[in-house]
Amino acid sequence: MFRNYLKVGLRYLLKHKGYTFINVLGLAVGITAAILIMLFVRSEHSFDRFHSKADRIHRAWLQEFYEGQIFTNVVTPVPLAPLLQENLAEVETVSRVAGIGAPIHHRGNIFNYPVTMVDSTFFDIFDFELIKGNRQNPFPSKNSIILSEEAATLFFGNISPIGETLELEIGGEKRLFTVSGLTKNVPYESSIQFGLLIPFSNAVHIWSDYVRTSAWSNVSVETYVLLKEGADPAKVNAKIPSFMQPLVAGNYKAGEYNVRLQPLTDIHLDNTLPAGMVAPSNPLYSYILATIGILILLIACINFITLSVGRSATRALEVGVRKVLGAERRQLIWQFWGEALLLTLSALLLGVLLAYLLLGQFNQLANREFVLNADVFTLLFCFSLLILIGLFAGSYPALVLSSFRPVQVLKGKVRTRGMGLFGKGLVVGQFVASIIMIICTITIGRQLHYLQQKDLGFEREHNVIVPTNQQGSAAALLANRFIAALEKNPQVIDATTSLYSMAEYGWMQLGYKDDKDVFRLFRFNVIDPDFVKAMDLEVVEGRNFMEGNPADSNAILVNEALVKEYGWDDPIGRKLPGAYPQQIIGVVKDFHFESLHTSIKPVVMALKPDAFFENSSDVSYDYSPRPRISVKFRGGNAQEHIALLRENWKEVAGDQEFEYRFLDDALNAAYEQEQRLGNIVQYASLLSIFIACMGLFGLATLVVQRRTKEIGIRKVLGANVSTLVGMLTKDFVVLVLLASVIAFPVAWLVLKRWLQDFSYRIDISWDVFLLAALVSVLVALLTVSYHAIRAALKNPVHSLRTE
């Protein structure tokens, strides 16, 4: 019986090649999209799950209420880990993880490779694979260092690194470290990334006794906690205040200083907490992608159904005959579902092949390195696709066709004229989805264009940022020598040193209590007198700093937003009321020192940082406070600029590693996620309209076939070709227009929500909607008119004779 079904199914599919081709290709493309998107969504949801104890590992985070403001930190005080270990019976073990700046001196070169300091319990908690070394005792001494394969290759090439040495500059002193272990490279799906690990005992070189033992408002390290088997995190969380509060009682009232535990596996998709070592993802984006994948699949399934509806006249007769020959409905249901599964299986094979071929492009699009493996999950996913699509797409023939009564079909009584409300509804549904995606594609594109073109209040072109990676006087010395060397070159317009450049989205944030006891926050930067000119900032009131004017070291520049915040009419000569002695000498026009997601905040710029740190009650920063040099070029070849910079750097900095970033690249990186979403939605809308059109094409074939006789009669009665084409295409155009009407409000709502993520955004304009509708109608017309024109041109003698 099964063989018979298979045989009939195969013959049927082979006989109607066009129908099969459209169905298989449509489904295959849908399946390809689903598989690729699955890879992405799976990766997003698999972060940190490779640790065998992942469900027991938590990261401590800090929430402080201070003067009406909430400060949230995933970086915690150094003594927190031992405190938790000591006071919580449920804690099995803890480890601190701290990224430290430690220039590496190796064979005459200086590398700025990230160094991570961890407790020796690190490998008890996490499953990072240690190829060489001892998990129980990973650091035999304080001067042991563990390398990832990547770091080992960088420093030692192909020889075994064990026993080799590296010189790390920690706390201003070079210290010799001996390699005691080698790990596999950290997987992409890990919220903890490292290349070099050193034991936490080196903290004595970095932080004072006070910071290491009792500085509760000083955050420096991430704290990870492994709970004992069966411990309830909620109960553990509830116990913390009892021993934490007494320690911070001097500065915080009860409930103002909270340490909480966050499950390790929640870190990646929880963007309500600030970024730790690896920035979390916006979970919205994986939901959007999953929705797109499901939509495309749905559109492909609908194709299958509409085409089945179109073919139902032919198949109905078969149903009648089979029933007369003794078939039961159950058997026919199996037969039709079997055929649908067979077709889906071919589509699946083709879809997997396509996914395999397109993986490279997709990786480029998503900026990932996904691989398509035949692992259990993927196989299960493909199998579920097969079953779900087969069942869903085959449901119409299986459930509806099989119910036909033989007496009626054999008499030819089943009505199959026209598309039927059901078929029309499906076509409309497909186009609704396609049109929404087209509208989104265009609007996202426009918003991105707007972000990239918007006047930021400073010059972004031909600007290169070179970090000094040094602190204090060493940085100043290096910067001065570098700038002096550069300024001899005619290509360089300007070069300036600042604590943060425009490439760091997130300047230092300072907070203080003003004279009226109001807590105020502002962004802070240390600049030199050239900064304003080099960045093309506009001084709207007062003046810029002057070179060699000693009084200016006690002056500040502020932006308009700050003036507005304090409500001043005459800001020049004023001081920030309360903590700081510096006088305002100038106001610069607002400029976007942060991404356009956020509105412009108050800014203070000074020549010297000292008094500011001392007088602020709150200091926080995302980027290390190490001066950067911004170099503005006259335009021309970027490669030459870099070569010039490198050459001069070598002269003044010697063996210290040369790093650089183009300012416009750095700025665009802030919109990377949006850019990628834009690209993916663009491909998705192309795909969906392609699949929908294939369905339309198939449907048009059937409609025209069914109306052959009518067309013949009309022609004999004198209808001309254009009227006939009009008659045949009109129905379809009406459907697409109806789909537009439904799609418009949905697209508008979706985009409105998306645009809310930006403080600076475009308006959703009506012409996008018109354009999308127009494109869809045109594409639909083109698709349908092929058949319409062919049918209309046919000699009626043939169509009428066949009856």
- Chain residues binding another protein by CB under 8 A are 1, 4, 7-8, 11-12, 15, 317-318, 320-328, 331, 405-407, 410-411
Give dist(CA 676, CA 697) in Å, integer.
31
Alpha helix (H) ranges present in 489-583? 531-534, 560-566
Give dist(CA 193, CA 148) in Å, integer.
10
Nearer to another protein, 16 or 446 (CB): 16
- Both structure tokens of 583: 């006088």
Nearer to another protein, 15 or 415 (CB): 15
Least distance in angstroms from the C-beta of 413 to another protein: 12
Q: Taking the CB of residue 356, how many other CB atoms lie within 10 A of it?
A: 12
Least distance in angstroms from the C-beta of 321 to another protein: 5
Identify any residues that bridge with 35 across adjacent strands, giving them in sequence order: none
- Both structure tokens of 747: 């697209």
Nearer to another protein, 326 or 581 (CB): 326
Question: What does DSSP assign to residue 200?
Answer: G
* Lookup result for tokens 């401590």: 60
Per the CB < 8 A criterion, the answer to whether 139 and 196 are in contact is no
Residues 6 or more apart from 227 whose CB is under 8 A from it? Answer: 56, 57, 58, 90, 91, 92, 233, 236
Nearer to another protein, 15 or 516 (CB): 15
Least distance in angstroms from the C-beta of 780 to another protein: 32
Nearer to another protein, 36 or 401 (CB): 401
Nearer to another protein, 267 or 319 (CB): 319
Looking from the CA of 337 toward its CB, the CA atoms found within 13 Å total 16
- Both structure tokens of 639: 């490669």
Sign of the Cα pseudo-torsion (305, 307, 310, 313, in order): negative
Per the CB < 8 A criterion, the answer to whether 100 and 113 are in contact is no
Per the CB < 8 A criterion, the answer to whether 396 and 309 are in contact is yes
What secondary structure does DSSP assign to 244-268, as a single string? HHHHHTTT--TTSEEEEEEEGGGTT
Amino acid at the residue 451? L
Least distance in angstroms from the C-beta of 324 to another protein: 5
Looking from the CA of 89 toward its CB, the CA atoms found within 13 Å total 2
Least distance in angstroms from the C-beta of 332 to another protein: 10
Question: What does DSSP assign to residue 762?
Answer: P
Nearer to another protein, 316 or 485 (CB): 316
Nearer to another protein, 332 or 438 (CB): 332
Distances (CA, A) of 155 to 107, 193, 675: 9, 18, 35
Q: How big, in percent rounded to 5, are the helix, strand and coil portions of the chain?
A: 50, 15, 30
Least distance in angstroms from the C-beta of 799 to another protein: 20
Least distance in angstroms from the C-beta of 717 to another protein: 29
Nearer to another protein, 328 or 665 (CB): 328
- Both structure tokens of 751: 């985009």
Least distance in angstroms from the C-beta of 313 to another protein: 14
Nearer to another protein, 123 or 337 (CB): 337
Least distance in angstroms from the C-beta of 15 to another protein: 7
Nearer to another protein, 405 or 543 (CB): 405
Nearer to another protein, 4 or 473 (CB): 4
Per the CB < 8 A criterion, the answer to whether 352 and 31 are in contact is yes
Nearer to another protein, 12 or 194 (CB): 12
Least distance in angstroms from the C-beta of 699 to another protein: 22
Give dist(CA 147, CA 167) in Å, integer.
13
Sign of the Cα pseudo-torsion (166, 170, 172, 175, in order): negative
Give dist(CA 542, CA 246) in Å, integer.
49
Residues 539-552: b if buried by 16+ CB within 10 A, e if exposed: eebbebbeeeeeeb
Give dist(CA 295, CA 687) in Å, integer.
11
Nearer to another protein, 107 or 330 (CB): 330
220, 207, 223, 200: which is closest to 119 by C-alpha?
A: 200
Least distance in angstroms from the C-beta of 9 to another protein: 9
Least distance in angstroms from the C-beta of 12 to another protein: 5
C-alpha dihedral over 471, 473, 475, 476, to 10 degrees?
140
Least distance in angstroms from the C-beta of 396 to another protein: 19
Least distance in angstroms from the C-beta of 437 to another protein: 38
Least distance in angstroms from the C-beta of 802 to another protein: 15
Cα angle, residue 679 at apex, residues 677 and 685 outer, rounded to 5°: 95
- Both structure tokens of 741: 């009407």
Give dist(CA 383, CA 474) in Å, integer.
62
Least distance in angstroms from the C-beta of 11 to another protein: 4
Rg value, the chain, Cα: 34
Nearer to another protein, 93 or 331 (CB): 331
Nearer to another protein, 100 or 340 (CB): 340
Residues 6 or more apart from 700 whose CB is under 8 A from it? Answer: 728, 732, 783, 784, 786, 787, 788
Parallel, antiparallel, or unpaired: how do β-strands 115-118 and 196-199 relate?
parallel
Question: What does DSSP assign to residue 221?
Answer: B
Nearer to another protein, 238 or 407 (CB): 407
Give dist(CA 167, CA 339) in Å, integer.
68
Least distance in angstroms from the C-beta of 712 to another protein: 23
